[in-house]
A and B are shown apart, each in its own frame.
Chain A
């Protein structure tokens, strides 16, 4: 009961302070937000440390913490493909001292791929905004017999089940990207399933499998030096990405419908007092303008979103659109969507 009472108290105090501030019309910012933050803020990352999600969160935590004058501490709560950490974030006290990390997998596709998802991404969160986007890409082994996307599609159609495509596990973004791409070109390859990109890339480099579907954030380090071939960068606007300026987009390659960009962003649990939420959103926007942050994102294979895609309201709209989009993809693929080894059984 105690925490609940406290929450009521601070909210009441905040409202009172807000009213006072408005009536006197002196303070440039509401008083409730001026005092905030008085102590460290926790940022829940629903994945183990080290991956792109974690690294991008730490970059944001550092930049936002500097602006707020308090440390933002990253807490990694891994499990259930992000579900465990997301639940912790949803249930956290909405006082602005706990925020969380979300991406297209945990807060959009998961609605369709995880029937036990313990939260509703469209209702349970106050989003702060997207901080990083990274387009998806098709990559193949170095000696794959195709140089352009058209040749890739030709070869795929000829090979059919003979085409061996790796992905990182049922329901992973890598898997869903494969499903979209091969739905669109009308081919059913043989899927070979690995636990994570680290294992996948090993067998692509060795030539045991033909290729995979991935985020640029993961593959860039292998595409740039030419260790693997890159096809069809799936940008939304069809323009090349500064991350891989030499690789043609899907639109250039003749498959303009293949558009997938992963987004990574931050949220607060639903119900954070308005002045505090406003301050968090403002801080997030300011951090995106920091050239050091932009440079660091570029190095991990992503870019800050375009100005029109920034902010919490825009993030909520994108979450809603993507929940619908992935539901359609998964429905169209049918129950067989997640049966990677079905090919081998038939």
Chain B
């Protein structure tokens, strides 16, 4: 314990220097801004800013890059809440109830609780990294491809709960999402699948393309149907901060979300994307009145936001201690570290204690800064909602297009987004939910890869999913969730049959 305190003191000693504080602030600010701009994600930004960090010492450079990373997580929620455009896979869930709250004139409360939930989660996650980084890495290695596959199946089952309407439609959307994720070159055989000869989509469709199309563009199309009748403009904007009752409602979801996110963030292969989805599901299941979810329930913002931020931060553990980047942003961090002659891996804590602990301390400082940057901005963001549609929509579409183009420098991505916008509009009209589709899309690729890896390792023996206890447990849980979800649906259908 004394050692831990010494280490944390060392870390704060490094992080609190004027230069590192300034870099941390700069990173958080850039991160927030790019997070708010739809489509310009942390991957694009960090790769653009990588050369700038040449001139800075390695600790400062990493502190700034980390700031961009979690700043973008914050900023992404702002766009999801205000204009229903999730720029990152992890803010899809925030859009569900957050945007509904904004339309009810409670945008301030939604943004406020997102910031507070994230700060709390960030603080806890920092402590987790500081205290448990080394033992926790062993946990990530316990996950066999078979276990991972089972986790993905369980994750997809969660999507059923995300949907407000019909169960069948939700499952259909998941399957369409999984199907979309298989577009591109087959990893094992190298054959093209569902590309129709377009070499531009050989590598698959980018997440931002699908998300911005079916969420953002479709939402704009839907709004254009009706002349400008926004609730926000007519009603009072309401308090910029959540009130006491909302805080009480959010407390437990934030706690649960933090735990869930911290746990899933440890998993390799971007397990953190599951965290907000899982948190939302749990809150909806535990709520006294689940029907409020999807209609502006503050718990549906608080829990997933906390989960998202905790996961974003514990994702540093496999990177710093094993040298395994769990997602694209972390892969960039490895690049940044190697440019600065640092070797991510088991030796970094002992060989570079100033870097390791300095970064951990700066994470907490960064989270604090984000609250300081974001809370005053809440008022500004909310006022942005009052901008007339004829100005706001073209601006959003323009930023989306720039953002999408910047992801892969590929014009086809922009056309594809437009096409997905039309598809999304059609889905709204037919009362299909886009959220399960996106979850299927995000998890589909991992689902397939882990299944094939597990089957190759067992040489075609499907019992491997039973032999691995974790996998067996999770598959059993999936089964139970499916039955529970199906029961009221079956009952409802019976009811309608009788009524008819």
Residues of A in contact with B (beta carbons under 8 Å apart):
48-51, 54-55, 58-59, 61-62, 74-81, 83-84, 113, 116, 118, 161-162, 164, 169-171, 190-195, 198-199, 201-203, 205-206, 208-209, 221-222, 224-225, 227, 296, 299-300, 338-341, 343-345
Contacts and interface: CB of A to CB of B under 8 A. Distances in A.
A98 to B, nearest CB: 13
A193 B452 contact: yes
B332 interface: yes
A164 B200 contact: no
Judged by DSSP, the binding face of A is: mixed
B341 A221 contact: no
A114 B408 CA distance: 20
Interface in B329-360: 331-336, 338-339, 341, 343-347
A51 B343 CA distance: 13
Contacts of B453: 192-194, 203
Given A194-B449, A199-B269, A338-B189, A208 B331 contact: no
A131 to B, nearest CB: 15
A299 B341 contact: yes
B228 interface: no
B341 A49 contact: no
27 contacts: A48-B328, A50-B50, A50-B332, A50-B335, A54-B335, A58-B51, A77-B408, A79-B202, A80-B203, A118-B199, A161-B459, A164-B456, A170-B190, A190-B456, A191-B456, A192-B457, A194-B187, A198-B324, A198-B326, A199-B268, A202-B140, A202-B269, A221-B343, A222-B345, A296-B339, A296-B341, A343-B456
A257 to B, nearest CB: 26
Interface residues of B, number: 57
Contacts, number: 160
A202 B186 CA distance: 21
B345 A221 contact: yes
Interface in B359-374: none
B338 A55 contact: yes
A338 B190 contact: yes
A123 B326 CA distance: 39
B54 interface: yes
Given A77-B410, A80-B203, A221-B343, 4 more contacts: A50-B335, A81-B202, A170-B188, A198-B325
A67 B305 CA distance: 48
Given A203-B145, A206-B141, A339 B189 contact: yes
Contacts of B323: 201, 221-222
Given A49-B335, A58-B51, A199-B269, A209 B457 contact: yes
Interface of B: 43, 46-47, 50-51, 54, 140-145, 185-190, 199-200, 202-203, 268-269, 318, 322-326, 328, 331-336, 338-339, 341, 343-347, 408-410, 445, 449, 452-453, 455-457, 459-460
A54 B325 CA distance: 16
